[in-house]
Amino acid sequence: MLFPEIMPSVFIKTYGCQMNERDSEAVAAQLVAKGYSLAKSEALADVVLLNTCSVRDAAEQKAMNKMKNLAGTARKERPDQILGYLGCMAQSRGKELIDKLPDVDLVLGTQKFHRAAEYLDEIISGKRKKIVDVAAEEKSEATIREHLLNGSAKTSVSAFVSIMQGCNQHCTFCIVPSTRGEERSRTIPDIVAECRELVARGVREITLLGQIVTSFGKRDYPLLDGKSAFVQLLEAVHEIDGLERIRFTSPHPKGYGDDLVEAYARLPKLCESAHIPLQSGSDRLLKLMHRGYTREKFLGIIEKLRRAKPGIGITTDIIVGFPGETEEDFEQTLSLCREAQFDNAYIFKYSPRRDTPAAEMPDQVPQEIREERNHRLLDLVNEIAARKYDSFIGKQVEILVEGPSKKNAARYTGRTRCNRIVLFNGSARHQSQLMDVKIERTGSFTLYGDPAVVNL
Ligand code: SAH
Ligand code: F3S
């Protein structure tokens, strides 16, 4: 570092999924370890990094507009401010991002997060002016393991652990296989060591992360007593004393073999909640999407899970307006949602992505029809979700308390095992506790509870 006495400050803004949140945290931890401070806002920061998402066009546009605004302000007020793109859009667009906006100094791809400090040093010291690195790197999947020790993370009771990178499924609509690359998994001992360390620091809930976690370790760990590598990992993490809850995201429906379904019944720390992306209820579209399952198979998984763990919270992702989607296909999705009774569903309007087969398919669905189906499906999904929320009124549930609510400091927030947010009037003594609350009423995607009184 050129000016060791004035270490720079950094602000990282994250777009997209939990994997991106986790990657940003690891970059922040890496920079803090090198002496950087975390700036409170982008206006105060010496370095501003945007960790980007490419899954839909809107996410890319948002980050590009943000960067344009940052560059405009920097040119006027902070000519030394360093601007960088990280992550998925950096990976898919590379140098083009600097050609478009020459104020950008750094473009760092998805296998290069661990190089952020080194590259920023080179830019700050004037050794290099612009750096673009989107190359593949062996073993980069094992580099995301630093967590923030200071700031709000100190009291955090829940942590994310990245177990694998990339995806080989190549769903025809999805850009992830090209932004995140081939599937690469960490080893079980390496992941368990990271989880143990987190638990030693007070973490009680761990969410295992990857683009397709159910494919974890397929090439490295053979089946053991009929159990997949992923289930072997769940068992190993389950052994950790002091860890109370285990979650994971995102799985693929094809990964829900009997071994995984059975793990829900067998491993008490594995929370009864699952986010299982459906995408469509039409077999014809599932095939065109290259999803690898049928409607019947999907419904069968849900039924088995509900049998293994009654009350399991099941959420999903659905795309409307995939190329060639007819009214009949869409109605198949509506009817599947009625049957499956999801606790919640995230609905996405199809967005053509570069270099994906679906973008070239005939019969792209007009924008107004995508909008209209989006509304119809949302109405149905919200109606089912509201009914499910209401069914909690009067019930007693266990929550893990995460901390004061962001909106109202007198309220504390926690999550049920089935992953619903509960707000209650709490105080610092509730922080990080597992406790029972009685649900009094519901709000939009929130339950309101009272610490339960035990009647002796
Ligand atoms: N398994 C991955 C999926 C990533 S994308 C993960 O969660 O990490 C998240 C969701 O975005 C997908 O499940 C899908 O519903 C939606 N999606 C992906 N590509 C899309 C596209 N081209 N247009 C619209 N939605 C898309
Ligand atoms: Fe994308 Fe399909 Fe993989 S949605 S992340 S290609 S499972």
Query: For 133-147, how does the pLDDT look when each residue is reduced to its tens digit (9 = 90+)?
Result: 999 999 998 898 888
Query: Does 174 contact ligand 1 (Cβ within 6 A)?
Result: yes
Would you tell me how many other CB atoms lie within 10 Å of the CB of residue 196? 17
Ligand nearest to the CA of 162: 1
Query: Does 250 contact ligand 1 (Cβ within 6 A)?
Result: yes
Query: Does 55 contact ligand 1 (Cβ within 6 A)?
Result: yes
Query: Does 413 contact ligand 1 (Cβ within 6 A)?
Result: no
3-state secondary structure of 375: helix
Residue located nearest, by CA, to atom 24 of ligand 1: 350
Query: For 307-357, how does the pLDDT look when each residue is reduced to its tens digit (9 = 90+)?
Result: 999 999 999 999 999 999 999 999 999 999 999 999 999 999 999 999 999
Return the percentage of the chain with pLDDT > 90, whole number. Answer: 89
pLDDT value, residue 449: 93
- Pick the atom of ligand 2 nearest to 175's CA: 1
Distance CA 261, CA 241 (A): 23
> Which of 19, 53, 91, 169 for a ligand 2 pocket mutation test, highest count of atoms within 8 Å of Cβ?
169
Residue 296's pLDDT band (boundaries 50, 70, 90)?
very high
Closest CA relative to residue 17, chosen from 189, 165, 116? 165
What's the whole-number average pLDDT of the chain?
Answer: 94
Model-level pTM greater than 0.85?
Answer: yes
Tell which wins on pLDDT, 326 or 150: 326
Ligand 2 mean position to 176 CA, how many Å? 6
pLDDT value, residue 453: 60
Query: Does 56 contact ligand 1 (Cβ within 6 A)?
Result: yes
pLDDT value, residue 443: 86
Mean pLDDT score, 58-76: 96
Q: How far is CA 360 from CA 177, 179, 274, 304, 401, in A?
A: 17, 19, 32, 37, 47
Strands, E, within 21-154: which ranges? Answer: 37-38, 47-52, 82-86, 106-108, 131-133
DSSP state of 332: H
Residue located nearest, by CA, to atom 10 of ligand 1: 317
* Preceding amide of 178 cis, omega within 30: no
pLDDT value, residue 180: 96
Residue located nearest, by CA, to atom 8 of ligand 1: 211
For residue 401 the two structure tokens come to 């308390």
Closest CA relative to residue 330, chosen from 347, 352, 344, 314? 347
pLDDT value, residue 404: 92
pLDDT value, residue 336: 98
Residue 1's pLDDT band (boundaries 50, 70, 90)?
very low
Ligand 1 mean position to 346 CA, how many Å? 10
* Contacts by 306-309, CB closer than 8 A, 24 or more apart: 308/261, 308/262, 308/264, 308/265, 309/264, 309/265, 309/272
Residue 155's pLDDT band (boundaries 50, 70, 90)?
low
Query: Does 252 contact ligand 2 (Cβ within 6 A)?
Result: yes
3-state secondary structure of 40: coil
Q: In the beta sheet, which residues pair with residue 52?
A: 87
Ligand 2 mean position to 245 CA, how many Å? 26
Residue 309 has φ and ψ, to the nearest 5°, of: -140, 85
User: Would you say 415 and 399 are in contact if contact means Cβ atoms under 8 Å apart?
Assistant: yes
- Pick the atom of ligand 2 nearest to 291's CA: 2
3-state secondary structure of 106: strand
Ligand 1 mean position to 88 CA, how many Å? 13
Residue located nearest, by CA, to atom 3 of ligand 1: 211
pLDDT value, residue 329: 98
Both ends of the chain: CA-CA distance in Å? Answer: 64
47-52 and 82-86 beta bridge pairing: parallel
pLDDT at 272 exceeding the cut of 70: yes
DSSP state of 279: B
Query: Does 277 contact ligand 1 (Cβ within 6 A)?
Result: yes
User: Would you say 185 and 216 are in contact if contact means Cβ atoms under 8 Å apart?
Assistant: yes
DSSP state of 122: H
pLDDT value, residue 148: 83
